[in-house]
C-alpha cells in the first residue's frame, strides 16, 4: 500500500525531535571519516565534509524554504512545488546521500513519491514543513561539529586596522509585547526579554506557540558578535518589521526564517547591513552578562565542541496580590 502523507510527516517530525538533543549518527560519521564508500579525493575527507556542509546549508535555506514559502502563500501549487523539489532538490539530496546523509536523501525521495497528483495543498505544506524541520536540525549539528578552528590559520593582518563606521546608522526598533526568559546551560545564565508582538505579531505568536524549547546554541561563523540557535518551529508568516543587523542594539533578538528558522541574540558589534526580522530585546539590566555568554559559545563552536543548550520559555508571572 502506498505511503500516506501523514505517515511520512510523523516519521520526519519524530526524526527532527530526536535530533533536537542528540547528534544524528550520520553527522558523527561524516566528521570522523567513517562514511561508507569513503568519499573524498586523495584519501582525505576534509573536502567531503566541507562540501557537504555548504551543500546542506544551501539546500535548507535556498531550496527547501523558498519552495515552502511559495507553497504556503499560494503562489505555487503542489505540482509546481514538486517540480522544483525534483529539479533543484534532487541534486542536493543525491549528493548529501553520497556523503552519508541517508535520511535526508530518503525523505526527499519519499516526498517526491507522495505526489503531487491528489496531494492537497495543506498536506503538501505539512509534509514539506516536516522535511524542512528535519533538514534544519541536521544542519544545526553540522554547523556545530564543523572544525571552524581551522580558520585560526587565516587571520587578517594585525596592522592596526579598525572597521569604518557603517553609514547612516538608524534608530533601533522599539519593541513591546510578552515576556520570555533565555537560559544557557551549563553556563547557568538567564536573561529576560520582551518579544516584539506589537511589531511582528504573527512571528511572535508562532514562536510563542513553540515554547518552551531547548536547542543547541552556536556562534555565528561570519557576521560578528552574535549567537544563534536553530529553533524547532518552521514558519513562513509575514515579519514586516525588519532592521539592519548593524543598527541593532546589544541584546536584540532577531529571527531568520530563510536560513533555518534561527533565533539570534546580538551580544556585541557587527557591521552586516542585511535586514532581519525583529523578534525582541533583552532587558537592559541583563545586557552585562551577554558578552560572557558569547565568549563561551564561541569557544564551544570554534574549539571545544562541548554543547551549550539554550532554553526559551515564557517568563514566570508573579500573581498579583
- pLDDT over threshold 60, residue 317: no
Q: Is the pLDDT of residue 167 over 80?
A: no
pTM: 0.94
> pLDDT tier at 319 (50, 70, 90 boundaries)?
very low
Give residue 39's pLDDT: 96
Q: Mean pLDDT throughout 285-301? A: 98
Mean pLDDT lowest among 1-10, 92-101, 258-267: 1-10
Residue boundaries of the structural domains of the chain: 5-147, 179-314
b/e per residue, 245-284, with b = 16+ CB within 10 A? bbbbebbbbbbbbebbbbbbbbbeebebeeebbbbbbbee
For 177-192, write each residue's pLDDT tens digit.
999 999 999 999 999 9
Residue-level pLDDT at 306: 97
Instruction: Compute CA 162 distance to the chain's CA centroid, rounded to the nearest angstrom.
Output: 30
Dist. CA 123–CA 10, nearest whole Å: 12
User: Given this model, what pLDDT does residue 94 score?
Assistant: 98
**pLDDT tens digits for range 89-142:** 999 999 999 999 999 999 999 999 998 887 899 999 999 999 999 999 999 999
The domain 179-314 is placed in CATH, from the list 3.90.180.10, 2.130.10.10, 3.30.420.40, 2.40.100.20, at 2.40.100.20
How far apart CA 22 and CA 124 sit, in angstroms, is 28
Amino acid at each position: 500500500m502506498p505511503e500516506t502523507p501523514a505517515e511520512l510527516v510523523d516519521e520526519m517530525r519524530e526524526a527532527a525531535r530526536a535530533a533536537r538533543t542528540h547528534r544524528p549518527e550520520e553527522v558523527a560519521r561524516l566528521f570522523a571519516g567513517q562514511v561508507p564508500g569513503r568519499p573524498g579525493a586523495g584519501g582525505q575527507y576534509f573536502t567531503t565534509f566541507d562540501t557537504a556542509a555548504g551543500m546542506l546549508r544551501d539546500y535548507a535555506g535556498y531550496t527547501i524554504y523558498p519552495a515552502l514559502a511559495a507553497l504556503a502563500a499560494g503562489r505555487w501549487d503542489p505540482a509546481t512545488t514538486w517540480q522544483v523539489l525534483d529539479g533543484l532538490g534532487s541534486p542536493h539530496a543525491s549528493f548529501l546521500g553520497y556523503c552519508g546523509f541517508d535520511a535526508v536523501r530518503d525523505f526527499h525521495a519519499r516526498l517526491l513519491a507522495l505526489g503531487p497528483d491528489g496531494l492537497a495543498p495543506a498536506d503538501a505544506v505539512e509534509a514539506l514543513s516536516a522535511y524542512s524541520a528535519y533538514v534544519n536540525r541536521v544542519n544545526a549539528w553540522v554547523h556545530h561539529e564543523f572544525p571552524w578552528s581551522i580558520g585560526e590559520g587565516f587571520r587578517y593582518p594585525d596592522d592596526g586596522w579598525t572597521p569604518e563606521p557603517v553609514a547612516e546608522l538608524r534608530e533601533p526598533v522599539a519593541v513591546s509585547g510578552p515576556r520570555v526568559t533565555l537560559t544557557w546551560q551549563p553556563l547557568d545564565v538567564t536573561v529576560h526579554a520582551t518579544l516584539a508582538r506589537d511589531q511582528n505579531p504573527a512571528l511572535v505568536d508562532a514562536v510563542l506557540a513553540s515554547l518552551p524549547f531547548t536547542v543547541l546554541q552556536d556562534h555565528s561563523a561570519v557576521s560578528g558578535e552574535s549567537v544563534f540557535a536553530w529553533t524547532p518551529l518552521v514558519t513562513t508568516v509575514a515579519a514586516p518589521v525588519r532592521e539592519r543587523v548593524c543598527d541593532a542594539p546589544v541584546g536584540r533578538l532577531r529571527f531568520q526564517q530563510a536560513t533555518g528558522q534561527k533565533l539570534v541574540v546580538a551580544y556585541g558589534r557587527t557591521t552586516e547591513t542585511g535586514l532581519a526580522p525583529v523578534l525582541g530585546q533583552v532587558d537592559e539590566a541583563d545586557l552585562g552578562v551577554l558578552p560572557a555568554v558569547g565568549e563561551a559559545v564561541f569557544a564551544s563552536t570554534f574549539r571545544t565542541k562541548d554543547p551549550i543548550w539554550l532554553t526559551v520559555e515564557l517568563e514566570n508571572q508573579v500573581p498579583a496580590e
